[in-house]
Amino acid sequence: MWKVRLRRLLYAKRVAGTALQACWRKPLPSTGTDWRQVSFLAVDAEMSSLDVNEGELLSVGWVCVENGAIALSSARHYLIRAEKSVGQSATIHSLRDCEFDEADTREEVLARFLEAAAGRVLVFHNAALDMAFLNRISRREFDAPVLMPAIDTLLQEQRLLQRREVPIQQGDLRLQACRDRYNLPQFPAHNALLDALATAELLIAMARHRSGGGEFPLSQLL
C-alpha cells in the first residue's frame, strides 16, 4: 500500500482539483485490517481487443463487497461510446455497434468509477488487462494512472496452486475454472457486470477458505 501512496505523490500537482485527486483523498485501509472490515470494489471490463494499443474499452461493471458480503445495490454497468466499430470482438462480448448510440463517454464513466473506487481496494480477475485500459483513459484525462490498490484473483489462485505444487493446465486460471474449485455456480461470461459479480464471489470464497473463519489480513490478498 505504501508504494501506491508514494507514487501518488509524484503525480500530486498534475491531478490537483480533479476527480482523481478527490478519489485519492479518501483514506485507504491498513494492510493489517481483517478482510471483512475492508471495502472492496470488484470490477470487470469488456474491450474490442486485448491489445491496449489497438482496442477500446467498451463496457465496465462493478459491485462493492462490504463486511465480507456483496452489496447488490451498489452494482453498476455502463457502456462506453466507441470511436470505432467493435468488429469481430462482438462474437465474444455480444455488444453491437448500434448499442453504443446513447452510451456514456469514457470520461463520464471514468468519473463514476473513481467515485465508486474512493477508499476501496479494487478486485479484478486478470488485473493487468483491465487496469491497462483504465489507466490509458486516466492518463488521457488526468495525465496520471489510477493508482489504486488492487487484488488479482487470477494471480491469487495461481500462487495457491503453485504452493500446492498442482500442475496448471491451459484454462485452469479462467474465471469459471477458478470458481469451480470453490464449488461456485456457473456464471454467463463476457458481460462486465456479471463477471464483476462472479469475481466478487470468488474473492469472498478465497478469503473464507484461506482464513478458516478467523482473522485474515488484507496483506495476504494483495
pLDDT of the chain, 222 residues: tens digit per residue: 889 999 999 999 999 999 999 999 999 999 999 999 999 999 999 988 888 988 889 999 999 999 999 999 999 999 998 776 666 565 565 676 667 778 899 999 999 999 999 999 999 999 999 999 999 999 999 999 999 999 999 999 999 999 999 999 999 999 999 999 999 999 888 899 999 999 999 999 999 999 998 999 999 999
Sign of CA dihedral 156, 157, 158, 162: positive
Q: Side-chain half-sphere of 215: how many Cα atoms within 13 Å?
A: 6
CATH of the domain at 161: 3.30.420.10
Number of domain units in the chain: 1
In DSSP terms, which residues pair with 28 in a beta bridge? none
pLDDT reported for residue 173: 97
The span from the CA of 64 to the CA of 116, in Å, is 8
Confirm if 36 and 68 have CB atoms less than 8 A apart.
yes
Angstrom CA distances, 154 to 6, 34, 177, stand at 26, 21, 10
Torsions phi, psi for 62 (to 5 deg): -155, 160
Measure the N-to-C terminal CA separation of the chain; round to a whole number of Å.
9
Global pTM value: 0.94
By CB atoms closer than 10 A (0-12, 13-18, 19+), residue 117 is buried
Write out the residue range of the structural domain in which residue 85 sits. 2-220
pLDDT reported for residue 109: 96
| Residue 200 amino acid letter | A
3-state secondary structure of 214: coil
Angstrom CA distances, 16 to 21, 77, 113, stand at 6, 28, 18
pLDDT reported for residue 89: 60
The span from the CA of 59 to the CA of 67, in Å, is 27
